[in-house]
Chains A and B, each alone.
Chain A
Amino acid sequence: MFAGLIVPLLLLAFAIALFLTLYVTQDGSLFTSIDTHIYGLLKFTLYQATLSTILSLIVGVLLAWALAHQSKFRGRSLLVALFSSSLVLPTLIVVFGLIGIFGRNGYLNQASLFLFDHSFGAYIYGLAGILLAHVYLNASFASRALLHSFESIPKEKYKLTKSLNFSVLERFLYVEYPAIKSTLFSIGSTIFLLCFTSFAVVLLLGGSPSYNTLEVAIYEAVRLDFDIGLALKLALIQLSISAVLVVLSSGFRTGLANLKTSYTLIPWKEPKILRVLQWSIIGIFTLFFVLPLLVIVIDGLGADFGHIFSEALFIKSFITSISFATVSSLFTVGIALMLSNTRRNFTLQTRYGNRRWARVVDAMVAFSGNLYLAIPSLVLGLGFFLMYQKSEGSEIVWSTTALLTANVLMSLPFALSVLTPAMHKTAQRYDKLAFSLGIKGWRRWTMVEYPYLKASLGYVFALAFCFSLGDLGIIALFGSDEFMTLPWYLYQLMGSYRTTDAAGVALVMLILVLSVFIIIPRAFQNKLDKN
């Protein structure tokens, strides 16, 4: 009964150790010396996160609304599946694609130069670029969850609005908005948190210190200035704010487990003007979403792969990335399984759900898994870095541990949001039967749990694999020529303006991520999915 508590306790203990390391190392002048520079950073971080969230939600709602009302067209489910893949697209790749289109030498400027002899310049570096990338990454993800809410509105309600002769606005206000409200808020808080701790996007598109977020400032304080004091101060501020955000947001529970789409058939056609509007929304967003990926493919195909594949650094980073992704996703799956199992142990009446402290224990376990949403990877990295400085261990061991831990902890909240409900369901369904038949232990896992969890496990594995493969976070602190992952290598190539090689590596990463995200869940699919 208590064995299942070891992992959550370890997770909590690690978080506390991390916080203590940061807190003890700083000089105690934390809140007395928030100078104008830090204040400016904080202001901009909050400002861009707020704007990004509002824009992502507006675009997400419009898109979900348009898709919900245009429920019958070829390729709709493919489109919806494509949009949900934005979750695993490495930010670096997305930024690379966006620069390819909107950058100073991007296709948009080239076309405009050709047609009107006018270039829009380097507008993408700065707030505009940050917002563009955040909307790209989050609006699609939001629309996916919102679409589900739209689709669960009963048909009868739509019939009612028709018979009451509601306008589109009235229909939205009285029927649709109440249905999507809760999703809107939980997804909004999630997006805010992601934008608040955004690293790669701001690092690449911030352009200059004028558009820095706390997360990037931490990186710069360590990497450029070796000002550990400043980094600590920033990290503790960052940590406190995101912890408050995680507590405030109801968390990640929506939007991930229910990734299947269904059709609401409304028996009448929308008025023509609405249809045009809905089609334009779908069309424009699809273009916006697909073009950067297309640019990566087109530019990538122009790369000299013979040259790229023979570069020692590429081979090194490729092997490192693949092995890290594999190991960390296995760990993620394992830990998520243990945590979910412990949680159902303490929630189900058939198990320990009736015990006195069950609810507290359950909350503790849930908290231990989602806690790491509140710990941005740079803060985590800084903690590891300080531990490394104090210890005698070798650099490679510490870098490896740091990267692995960060990757696992980063994927864990997502993994839990998929596995916990699934495991809860199997237990609810089969606990009584399995208990009365005496099926337990290994036998229970192989004969009962695995067949039902297979699909979720495959999905979680793919998710964690892609997250790990595409992450440019903690590696920014630990990366070097000796320790390199694909995103770090790509970042180096972009930094030294080796654009053709960068395009090739970006394409390799895109292909890797998409194929893993498409193939692995397929391979684990089973006939029981329908139930």
Chain B
Amino acid sequence: MTKILQFFLLLSLSVLATEKPTLTIYTYDAFSASWGPAPKIKKSFEKEHHVTLKFVGLSSSIGALRKIQLEGKRTKADILLGLDTSIAEVAKKTGLFVPHELNTSKLDLPAPYNDDTFTPFDYSYFAFVYDEDRLKTVPDSFESLASMPKDFKIVIQDPRSSTAGLGLLLWIKSIYGDKAGAYWKRLAPHILTITKGWSEAYGLFLKGEADMVLSYTTSPAYHIVEENKTNIKAAKFKEGHYGQIEVAAVLKSSKHQALAKQFLAFMHSKTFADIIPTANWAYPVVKGVKLPKAFETLVQPKKMILMDGKEVQKIRKSLINEWLEGMAR
């Protein structure tokens, strides 16, 4: 009798064990897209671990954070991937995330970042991207950008929903300081529209709706590698380029804490780092990865302008208000 019981117990345990857990990752749409890094990452992570990775793509990474906040404790997300160091502090304050318990001191970062909750997986620099064939006079600074002819239009992202939009806000703030509000008023007439996320803006630019789009210095690499096109370029700005270090963290409400942390560790593996340059079109955070040739032609900023996350958290609200007022007509 006991033997039979034991048998059933073992059987049920083995059934439970073979039942694959699902790890749900909320991220931005360009990351989860079929042409993005998600499919490759899923393949190699699932090979190493007994798990199903599920990527849920939102229109922006901040949008993904808001979705998690809206869902509260009931969220299905185990990991939030795609915020950057500027907004991470805001996310941390929600208390929805847990420390990663990883050693991140060996990571290859252009600016120091050591947070116990959010951990980096790639980085790049913000830049305005244009089509050489369509735009003849290319602005080389924020000053020349604002003094372009009247019909020159750019697409930017909303700093409330997009890390790119927030990046631009901080970029301009770090250059103009108190005069940032006045600068936004000068730039406003050139803004065709403000999108919720990066891919929406980039799509508009590719369709020819705008002359320039706020994107990354690494964006042209995509067109060189995938499309063999060299006419899409990033404009080098004299004032320097603001950086973006993308990060991820595990949700406190996740039922798969161990697995989720294994995924964060996986982000610092060579396998992951090899995928990043030609899938997310950014620089990996691990040393010793050979970058494709196309990266050599890119704009290479000497220094990364980057505000401290805690500082950003303090001034973000007032910056956004300043920006909203600058946009108002």
Contacts and interface: CB of A to CB of B under 8 A. Distances in A.
Interface of A: 35-37, 40, 44, 104-105, 121-122, 125-126, 207-211, 220, 222-226, 385, 389, 394-395, 480-481, 495-497
Contact of B151 (A121, A385, A389): A121
A500 B161 CA distance: 26
Given A224-B158, A495-B200, 8 more contacts: A44-B328, A223-B63, A224-B62, A224-B63, A226-B66, A394-B74, A395-B71, A395-B74
A226 B321 contact: no
Contacts of A211: 329
Most chain A CB within 10 A, of B67, B160, B199, is at B160
Contacts of B192: 122
Contact of A210 (B69, B74, B200, B329): B329
Contact of A224 (B66, B151, B203): B66
B196 interface: yes
Interface string B144-167: 000000010100001011000000
B150 to A, nearest CB: 10
Contacts, number: 73
Interface of B: 56, 59, 62-63, 65-67, 69-72, 74, 151, 153, 158, 160-161, 188, 191-194, 196, 199-200, 203-204, 207, 209, 320-321, 323-325, 327-329
Given A394-B74, A395-B74, A36 B325 contact: yes
A102 to B, nearest CB: 15
Contacts of B204: 497
A505 B148 CA distance: 39
Given A224-B196, A395-B74, A495 B328 contact: no
A63 to B, nearest CB: 31
Most chain B CB within 10 A, of A40, A121, A208, A223, is at A208
26 contacts: A35-B321, A40-B325, A44-B328, A104-B209, A125-B193, A207-B193, A208-B191, A208-B194, A208-B327, A209-B324, A209-B327, A209-B328, A210-B327, A210-B329, A220-B160, A223-B161, A224-B62, A224-B66, A224-B161, A224-B196, A225-B66, A225-B320, A226-B66, A226-B70, A495-B59, A497-B203
Nearest to A482: B76
Nearest to B165: A224
B211 to A, nearest CB: 12
Nearest to A499: B207
Nearest to B199: A496
A497 B158 CA distance: 17
B72 A480 contact: no
Contacts of A36: 321, 325
Given A208-B191, A208-B194, A394-B74, A224 B160 contact: yes
Q: Which 9 A-B pairs have the closest CB atoms?
A: A224-B160, A224-B161, A208-B194, A210-B327, A226-B69, A210-B329, A209-B327, A225-B160, A226-B66
Nearest to A393: B74
A37 B158 contact: no
A421 B204 CA distance: 52
A395 B158 CA distance: 27
Contacts of B151: 121
A200 B40 CA distance: 38
Contacts of B153: 122
A224 B153 CA distance: 24
Contacts of B72: 389
Nearest to A495: B200
A402 to B, nearest CB: 13
A105 B320 CA distance: 31
A394 B73 CA distance: 11
A29 to B, nearest CB: 14
A209 B324 CA distance: 6
A40 B193 contact: no
A262 to B, nearest CB: 47
A30 B189 CA distance: 33
A207 B210 CA distance: 14
A40 B322 CA distance: 12
A24 B157 CA distance: 34
Contacts of B65: 226
A466 to B, nearest CB: 29
A385 B160 CA distance: 20
B235 to A, nearest CB: 22
Nearest to A40: B328
A210 B188 contact: yes
A393 to B, nearest CB: 10
A495 B196 contact: yes
B203 A496 contact: yes
A497 B200 contact: yes
Given A207-B193, A395-B74, A497-B200, A223 B66 contact: yes
A281 B163 CA distance: 49
Contacts of A222: 70
A61 to B, nearest CB: 30
Nearest to B322: A37
A470 B324 CA distance: 30
Contacts of B325: 36-37, 40
A104 B69 CA distance: 36
A285 to B, nearest CB: 29
Contacts of A481: 56
Contacts of B158: 209, 224
A122 B193 contact: yes
B72 to A, nearest CB: 6
A105 B70 CA distance: 36
B74 to A, nearest CB: 6
